[in-house]
A and B are shown apart, each in its own frame.
Chain A
Amino acid sequence: MEDKTYLSIAYLGMILGLAIWTWTTISRSRKLELRIIAMEESLNIKQAEADSIAAANDKPAE
C-alpha cells in the first residue's frame, strides 16, 4: 500500500471512533434526560422534590 493510503486509513479510523464515541455519549445523555422528565411527570414530582432525589443519588446500593 502507498504511504497516503496508510495515512487515510489511520485518520478515518480515528475520526470514525471519535464520532461514534461522542455521538453515543451525547445521545445516551439526552435519552436519560427525557426518561427522567417522563418519570418525574408520572410521579408528579415538583422541582424541590426532584432536587432532593438528585442529592440522594450519590449513595450506592448496599
Chain B
Amino acid sequence: MRGKSGDMYLLAGFSGLMITLYLAFNWAPSVDINAFQSPEAQRIFYWHVPAAWAAFIAFTVLFIGSALWFFKRSPLGWKLHIAGSEAGLACGLMAVWSGCVWGAAEWGTPWDWEDFRLNTFGLLTLLALFLVLGRKSQPDGVESRDTFSTFGLYGFVLVPITYIATRIWVIRHPGPVIAGDENSSISGDMALVLIIGALSFTVLIIGHIMTSIEITKFEQRIDRLQKELDGE
C-alpha cells in the first residue's frame, strides 16, 4: 500500500546532502581570512543557503495549496497546504538556526533586529510554526481549513519581500551569492558545492512533501474507517 517513491527521494536527498557536507569540509576553498572575522564558520553556508532555498520552495507549495483549497475547494490543495507548512517549518528552522550560529561567530550576535531580511524570514518560519501547531489543536473542518489557508495566502507576501530585501536593503546579512551583482559573486568551486547542496535539499523536500501528502491521505482514511467501525 505504501508508496515508495517518497522514500527514494528522501534517500537521494540525504545522499546528496552528505556529499555536499564532504565537499564543503574537504574540497571547497577557504575564504579570504582578511575578509571574515570567522573564515572557517563561513562553511556553514553550504547548508544554510540551500535550507533557505528549500524553505522558499515549501512556502510556494504552501501558497499554491492554500489558494487551491480556498478558491477551488481542492482536496489536493489542502494536502499541499499541510505538506508545505511542515516542510517550510523544518527548512526555515534549519536556516534560522545555522544563520544564528554564523551570526554569533561572524557578527558577535546571533540576531540583528534591524536587518529587514532576517526579520521577514523569521516571521515566515513563525507563520509555518503557527500553521503546524494550530492545525494539530483544531478539529478538521471547512472553517478551520479556510482560516489556515487565509494565513497561508497572506503569509506568502513575505516571500517576495524577503527576496527583494536581499538586494535593496542589505544591512548586515550578506547579499545574494548567486545571480547577485559583481561584488557578491563566489568562486566556481564554491558555487558548485552550493548548487549540489541546493539540488539535494530540493530532492529531499520533494520526498518530504510526497510522504506528507501520503500521511494526510492515511489520516483521512482512518477517520472514515473509524466512522464505519463506530457504525455511523
Contact = CB atoms under 8 A, between A and B. Distances in A.
A56 B227 CA distance: 13
Contacts of A21: 90, 208
Interface stretch (B59-67, B96-104, B119-127, B179-187): B96-104
A17 B229 contact: no
A11 B2 contact: no
Contact of B220 (A28, A45, A58): A58
A40 B44 CA distance: 48
Range for the number of chain B residues in contact with chain A: 35 or more
Contacts of B38: 3, 6
Interface in B164-202: none
A57 B221 contact: yes
A59 B212 CA distance: 18
B219 A32 contact: yes
Interface string B73-92: 00110100000001000100
B142 interface: yes
A1 B44 CA distance: 15
A36 B218 contact: yes
A60 B214 CA distance: 16
Given A21-B208, A36-B221, A61-B139, A10 B40 contact: no
Contacts of A43: 225, 228-229
Given A6-B102, A42-B229, A60 B219 contact: no
A48 interface: no
A13 B101 contact: yes
Given A10-B98, A54-B221, A59-B75, A25 B1 contact: no
24 contacts: A6-B38, A6-B105, A7-B44, A10-B48, A10-B98, A11-B44, A14-B97, A18-B14, A18-B204, A21-B208, A26-B10, A29-B2, A36-B218, A36-B222, A39-B222, A39-B229, A54-B217, A54-B221, A57-B223, A57-B224, A58-B220, A60-B140, A61-B140, A62-B142
